[in-house]
Each structure stands twice: as C-alpha cells, then as structure tokens.
Amino acid sequence: MTIEDFLFGLIRTALWNDKMQGVEGVEMDHNQYETLKALAKEQTVYGLMIRGLAKNGIRLGKMDAINLCSIERKLAETNASLNREAVDLTRIARDGNRQLVIVKGQSVAALYPEPDYRVPGDIDAYGSLKDFDALTDAIGKEWGVNIHDTGYKHVDFIHNEVDFEVHRRLSVFCSMKSQRYWDALYAKSFDETDYVMIGGEKVPVLCATLNVLYVFVHLYLHLLVLGIAARQFCDVAVLLHHYKDVIDRDALEKHLRGIDFYDAFCAVGCVLVDKIGLKEDEFPFKIEEWHRKYSERILSDVFKRGNFGHYNRKQKDAGWMHSIETGFISINHCLRYYRLSPREIRMFLPRQIMISVKANLKKE
C-alpha cells in the first residue's frame, strides 16, 4: 500500500467510518508519522488524517501523540473562530436586509460528520449585485476594515485575523458563452436558498444543486490552472452525500452541459467514488469507462501540486519567470484535460497569457 492509498484509507474512515483492515493496534513510528503528516498537510486533510488514525486504533509514540493533540486543539480553535466570523458577517447582511450566502469553507464543514476536523481556510461569501456596494459599505463601517476591491470578481479584507472574500461573481470563465450562462444562473440563486447550522446559528447558503455545482467548478478551474488538493474532493463528496435526496439531477446535468463541464464532473466523480469512498449511487450520473481513464491523471496532479498548486514550484517569487512556469503548468494541464471541457480550454490559454502579461507589466 502506498502512502497515498493509506491517506485515502484514513479519509474514508473519517468521512464514512469505513475502517481499514489489519491496522488496529499497529504502532506508527516517528518517521512514518512525519511523512504522513507532511503529505496530509500538502493535501489540507490533516484533520481527517487525525480522525482516521484514532478511529482505526493506530498507535503513535508519546511525542507524536502530543503533537497530534496540539494540532487537533488548534484546528478546533480556528474553526470556532471562523464560525463566529461567518455568523457575524451574515448578521450584518441580515440587519441591512441585504442578500448574502456563505459559500465553500465553513458552510461545507458544517456538513462533515465532525466539522472540526475539516482544515479551514478563509471565509467566502456571495452577495447580490443589487446590494453589493451597500453591503460592503456596511461591513467596512461596522468592522472598521479596509476593503480591497479586485474590480471584477470580489472584494477582500481581514477581520479578527480571518481572511474574507465577498464575491460579486462566484466564478470567472474564459468562455463568454459559459460566463453568460453562469451569471444568469447565479443571479437567480437568491430566489431559493438553503440554511446550515454554523456555530449554533442558521446561516444562509446556496440551494443544494447550485452548491454542488459551484464547489465542483471551483475545484475544476483550479485543477486546470495549477492544481488542487484532496480537501476539495472531500468537500464535493460530502455535499453529494448530504444532499443525495434533494439534488435536482436533471437541473445539475443541464447546468454542467451549459458550461461544458459535464464530462469533467464525471471524471472527478471517479476519484470521489474510487478513492474518497462516496457510494456510487450517491453520485448523480452514470460514470462511463472513458471517464475512469482520467482518474489516475487527476490524482497524479493532485499529489504533485498539492493545495492550489503551492508545491513543487521551481520559481517561488512572483515575476516573469514565475508567470512563465505557471503558464507551462497550465498548458500541460489543459492538454491533459482537453476532452473534459474543450470549450473552456480553447479560450483558456490566450486569456491566461494576456492576464499574465498585463499583471507583470503593471509591476514594472
């Protein structure tokens, strides 16, 4: 068994209580623990690793056990902090009667069997365009934060040491046809929202079908550019499991085909079923045999690049050489996944080149 397979085994135990065979009572030595922890950190799933080790009865040395408990405690504290901030953000929106939903992150963590074991990041929210300026003005005044406007997709700021992104547009496509479909679809998303419990409070989120669609699209677009981690695959699996009885499968297929990502969704589904352990009947579509050919390709990029492609980069600092390296990685990924989303990829390369050149010329 490879270390990657071992990590997936721990993830399946943490998510579905699917225990590994022949490991209970086995003691992991320090080097094995450190190697496993480093891989889980790259994949942003060290919380699930911790839970999987405990549930499988795998023993650690004294110092490693202390280290694990320290990580576990810090995870719980960080999640609690982000939960408070997410709840307070929705309160500001609600007090002003402005439309906002929490997306990704803590809204997905709330659906995990044990939310504190999902490694948190920042807080993402999506605000209605008609309320957006008034909403961000209210946030700035009440929290006293400096809000940076990226101009096209979102604003960002920091409050109580937590990073926030409030989106006016959830995803940006290179295909204008896909962008028009997406913008029209999510402009209506506030007509039917759902709620999850975060920090003991009901918090508004996207409806089940649009939630699954967005979290998947976020995953796939990052896979095309530089890479994505196992955590995002776990998020999609958890959403599909939680909403298995309420997802509108016909609507989801229509939307995926509307942005030309249906085959990409099915290819990712192979990883969800074969590696993450999602039940096949909980995946909304039939996976074709040719989709499965992409599973190992996706996994090789996941483990090579890690969370958002941060690992195995030769060029660490921003600049022309970093952009050139990013370009080569993106071109390679696009060629590898062309059949899964040809419309987007045909427009992806020239657009990314233009963006990169503009960004570097601006710095000079």
pLDDT for 125-167, tens place per residue? 999 999 999 999 999 999 999 999 987 789 999 999 999 999 9
- Pairing status of strand 162-167 against strand 154-159: antiparallel
pLDDT at 8 over 90: yes
Name, in order, each residue with C-beta under 8 angstroms of 155's C-beta and a sequence gap of 6 or more. Answer: 136, 147, 148, 149, 165, 166, 168
Measured on CA atoms in the order 281, 285, 288, 292, is the torsion positive or negative?
Answer: negative
| Count of helices and strands (H, E) across the chain | 15, 9
Alpha-carbon distance 61 to 27, whole Å?
Answer: 8
Contact between 178 and 344 under an 8 Å Cβ cutoff? The reply is yes
Joined together, the tokens standing for residue 193 give: 């929202």
List, edge to edge, every strand of the sheet that includes 154-159: 100-103, 123-127, 162-167, 154-159, 148-149
Q: Which residue has the higher pLDDT, 274 or 358?
A: 274
**φ and ψ at residue 109, rounded to 5 degrees:** -55, -35
User: What integer pLDDT is reported at residue 313 of this predicted model?
Assistant: 46
Count of CB atoms situated within 10 Å of the CB of 41: 17
- pLDDT tens for residues 170-191? 999 999 999 999 999 999 999 9
- pLDDT tens for residues 210-247? 999 999 999 999 998 878 999 999 999 999 999 999 99
pLDDT at 353 over 80: no
- Residue identified by tokens 């270390």 is 3
- Pairing status of strand 27-28 against strand 59-60: parallel
CA distances from 185 to 172, 259, 340 (A): 13, 11, 22
User: What integer pLDDT is reported at residue 358 of this predicted model?
Assistant: 55
What would the mean pLDDT of 328-339 be, rounded to a whole number? Answer: 79
Contact between 89 and 72 under an 8 Å Cβ cutoff? The reply is no
Residues β-bridged to residue 158: 163
Mean pLDDT of the chain: 91
User: What integer pLDDT is reported at residue 351 of this predicted model?
Assistant: 67
Direct distance between the N- and C-terminal alpha carbons of the chain, in angstroms, rounded to an integer: 50
Is pTM beyond 0.85? Reply is yes
Question: Based on the number of CB atoms within 10 Å of its own CB, is 146 exposed (0-12), middle (13-18) or buried (19 or more)?
Answer: exposed
